Structure 1
Amino acid sequence: MFPVDVCPHTLIDTQTIKPVEFTKTDTTPPYAVLSHRWVEGEEVVYEELLHACPEMYQKSGYQKIKNACQVASQGGYRYIWIDTCCITETDRQENIPKMYGFYQNSAICYVYLMDVSSKQQFRNSRWFKRGWTLQELVAPRTVAFYDVHWWYLGDKHELREDISQKTTIPADILSGTKSIQEITIIDRMTWALERKTTKRQDLAHCLQGLLGVTIEPKDKEFWLEAFNRLGRALLKRYPELEKELGISDALFSDPDYSFQDCAWDRLMEIRDKMLEERFRQRFTR
């Protein structure tokens, strides 16, 4: 969905644990990415990592970065991209719309599940309920899961049946035998129904890459406006959604109209019918 040149310009050197900058004319080297859930007050930001601020070492987020760098280095990767310390407030607007591409063009995505200590707990991780982690699961070719102690649990191909049952994402998408391009926009949207973001408007931003549209983040934007901008972008690119979701340009002109509330109700109906059909097919074979 994204060209191969959509790559991050800030990476972490896995040997020095320092940020490294690449210009737009540089060829970005192979890199890993980290998927994780943020812990308020514990994450390390770019400036802290760059200047090695003393208080940084007391944060659990630093140990997470250190462990991720170690795993990536052992896997043969000199560089890793981590959202908390590779995106700054000044380049957020530029990078947020490109994040799907960052994950898609990575060599591997390491998923750190801080609430999982055994394989039996895998499906219960809250990681599966977060909005941003949807693209982090779908976009990369290889996704490797690790528990709270950084023990390897398996990759998304090996765990595809468990993940599919948890997320409703088809197993053949997770195994790579089917392309995301073969999945309708409606079906892709249903994958987000049970997911949440800390800021409600961020759910609109984290879906744009998966849905093939672009909406730049705006400071202090209300969630209603963010979702309506997403809806307009989707309708412009996929006119068939007017009939399938019951949306139109006229509705977006209404200041009280909520694309998320109205479209999500319809998507839930579509998803429930889809799951019923899958269940029926499973027991009539």
Structure 2
Amino acid sequence: MRLLTRDENDRLILETVDSDSPPAYAILSHTWHEDNRQEVSFQDMARGGAAGKLGYVKIQFCARQAAADGLRYFWVDTCCIDKSSNSELTEAINSMFRWYRQAARCYVYLSDVSRGLRSVWEPVKGSP
């Protein structure tokens, strides 16, 4: 399992962790951009070309919210899974329910909802 974190220079990097005993992390549930090429992929993160894509906004959102919640790590499917590897993609699909269940927090990013409808972050009632 790969998680995103910040390095000593405050850059977002991918770090491989043991999926059976990962550190506390947040996970992002989101809508995909209608042009999938605008989503940040594993390859974009590895090459350093992530910031130029529209999908980077939701990764930044997740990074900020995780930091605000005291979490060093977070997971976003678009860039934490190497979809060019069939075996890794299959493993991720089979593990996804567990990864969501294990997450300390789950954030929802709906790019098609206007910010004006809700300008203040409100945790879901009953969540920790």
Shift of 1:20: 0.5
The root-mean-square deviation of aligned C-alpha atoms, in Å, is 2.3
User: Is 1:94 aligned to residue 69 of structure 2?
Assistant: no
- TM-score, normalized by length of structure 1? 0.38
Partner of 1:20: 15
| d(CA) in 2 for partners of 1:102, 1:27 | 11
Shift of 1:79: 0.2
Partner of 1:107: 104
- 1:60 aligned counterpart, secondary structure: coil
Out of 38, 41, 44, the residue aligned to residue 45 of structure 1 is 41
User: Is 1:77 aligned to residue 71 of structure 2?
Assistant: yes
Q: Higher helix fraction: Structure 1 or Structure 2? A: 1
Out of 1, 4, 10, the residue aligned to residue 2 of structure 2 is 10
- Assess, with a 3 A threshold, how the Cα gap between structure 1 residues 103 and 23 changes in structure 2: closer, same or farther: closer
| d(CA) in 2 for partners of 1:76, 1:106 | 13
Larger of the two Rg values belongs to structure: 1
| d(CA) in 2 for partners of 1:82, 1:57 | 15
| d(CA) in 1 for partners of 2:110, 2:92 | 24
Deviations 1:3-37 (A, max 9, x none): xxxxxx2000045311001246x841000001101
Code of the aligned partner of 1:47:
Q
User: Is 1:29 aligned to residue 23 of structure 2?
Assistant: yes
- 2:71 aligned counterpart, secondary structure: coil
**8 Å contact kept, 1:17–1:66:** no
Deviations 1:29-57 (A, max 9, x none): 0000011011122100112112202xx32
Deviations 1:49-84 (A, max 9, x none): 12202xx32211112212210111111000001000
Code of the aligned partner of 2:60:
K
Percent same amino acid at aligned positions? Answer: 33
Q: Which runs of 5+ in 2 are unaligned?
A: none
**8 Å contact kept, 1:36–1:112:** yes
Partner of 2:60: 66
Aligned length: 119
**8 Å contact kept, 1:119–1:153:** no
| d(CA) in 2 for partners of 1:23, 1:101 | 13
| d(CA) in 1 for partners of 2:18, 2:5 | 16
User: Is 1:152 aligned to residue 124 of structure 2?
Assistant: no
- Assess, with a 3 A threshold, how the Cα gap between structure 1 residues 96 and 117 changes in structure 2: closer, same or farther: same
- Assess, with a 3 A threshold, how the Cα gap between structure 1 residues 66 and 118 changes in structure 2: closer, same or farther: closer
Deviations 1:225-248 (A, max 9, x none): xxxxxxxxxxxxxxxxxxxxxxxx
Q: Higher strand fraction: Structure 1 or Structure 2? A: 2
